[in-house]
Amino acid sequence: MATSLLIRNGLLIDTDPTPVVRSGDILVEDGLIAAVETSLPDVPGAEVIDAMDRIVMPGFVDTHRHTWQAAIRSVAPDITFPGYIGRVLGELAPRYRPEDVHIGNLAGALECLDSGITTLLDWSHIQFSPAHTDAVADALKRSGIRAVLGYCYGGDGGPAGLAAEGRRVHKEHFDRTGGLLTMAVAALGPEIAGEDLALHEWRLARDLDLPLSVHMGGHGAESAERGLDFLVRNDLLGPRTTYVHPNHYTDEALRRIADSGGSASVSPFVEAGLGIGYPATGRALAAGVPTALGADTVASAPGDMFSVMRAAYALERARPGGAGMGFTTADVLRMATIDGARVAGLGDVTGSLTPGKQADLILLRTDTLGLAPAHDPVGAVVMSADRGSVDTVLVGGRVVKRDGALCGHDVPALIAALTESAGHLAAAGA
């Protein structure tokens, strides 16, 4: 049976090709955006959402988050990148049981939905066993978020284990029927894992016809140059590859990435806080690299897109000599929506109010002391909104948050389970 939903009287912000604001209505049919007009006629039997005093816009897209880390939120707020490697990945991660992974991923995904992130690339480097991976996939499906599971092999089987387990995960958890959960290869890459394993990571992505997201360019200028040369020598520099933390690439290197069809994911809060390097936000955009945003880790940074957008905006505008003063709130909002969708490989699916796309939408309250009056709605979203502004969230036309509360989940029970998991992890890692 067909289902219809009509959003009326909203202040609409579309993001493609550039943020445009207008008043209007949106009709959603069978999960898809069917029409966007100034005034739409009544639809018999349709659910109606009154969006008066609400901004209606595409949901945010987070292109780089280690979602499993929800239970270790703020465990290392002032840490450096080497300290993060030692404390989080060296001490705490090995203590994760499959049940800790499940509750962490479920809570992390619901945290995203609660703050208006409707699409997530879950860069998941907690795959120590098949049970860990199955827990991640199940949690993402239960949450109701649109997610790309970035699979990063963590077993001890070497290249053969990577290939075998990667194929198992793809076969058992993913299909091509257009569900909310899809897959990418999350590659450690030559700068972290070494060249031999990196070759097998790229081979797995190509064999399974999957996009690839890789930590490259964030480990110093020499390492960045050496890693990019490795890709060139092995004919791996190509499309459907996202470079995470590309801070140390030269402008010329960024142009080579752009020419190859690659993209970038910037996590400005984490990059600045952990000392990974000055975010390449504006330089990547200027080089023609499709560039998006990610929260990365709540172990040392906030997990909402509002904070990430503000960090990206402030750090870019603060570049020496006024080099970033041309960067606008419209630029950063695009990065958090349509450009994020494109970087995640879902540009034809979500990220804008284009009819035919999935109805991944958020409604933000403007009748609050923190947001009213929203003279420039785009600027207001980037500068003034926060997770408390998120009134309603839809994923694929299904309401997953209504009147400021998540739907279909026992949040107190979830928090209790997350707290229990956190107690186990903190005690074990002490």
Same domain for 143 and 265, yes or no, is yes
pLDDT at residue 237 greater than cutoff 60: yes
Sorted by sequence, the CB contacts under 8 Å of residue 112 that are 6+ apart come out as 62, 65, 67, 118, 120, 145, 303
The boundaries of the domain holding residue 203 are 60-343
pLDDT > 50? residue 149: yes
CA 66 to centroid of chain Cα atoms: 9
In this structure, are 12 and 101 located in the same domain? Answer: no
pLDDT digits over 124-145, tens only?
Answer: 999 999 999 999 999 999 999 9
Based on the domain organization, do 94 and 151 belong to the same domain? yes
> What pLDDT, in 10s, does the model give residues 28-39?
999 999 999 999
135 and 272 both lie in a single domain: yes
The amino acid that residue 270 corresponds to is V
Last residue of a domain, one of 319, 343, 367: 343
In a domain, 409, yes or no: no
Residue 80: predicted pLDDT: 96
From the list 15, 14, 17, the residue with the least C-alpha distance to 26 is 14
2 pLDDT higher than 80: no
Q: Are residues 21 and 108 in the same domain?
A: no
Between CA 130 and CA 155 the distance in angstroms is 9
One-letter amino acid at 70 equals A
Q: Is residue 269 domain-shared with residue 383, that is, in the same domain?
A: no
CATH number at residue 236: 3.20.20.140
- Please tell me the total count of domains within the chain: 2
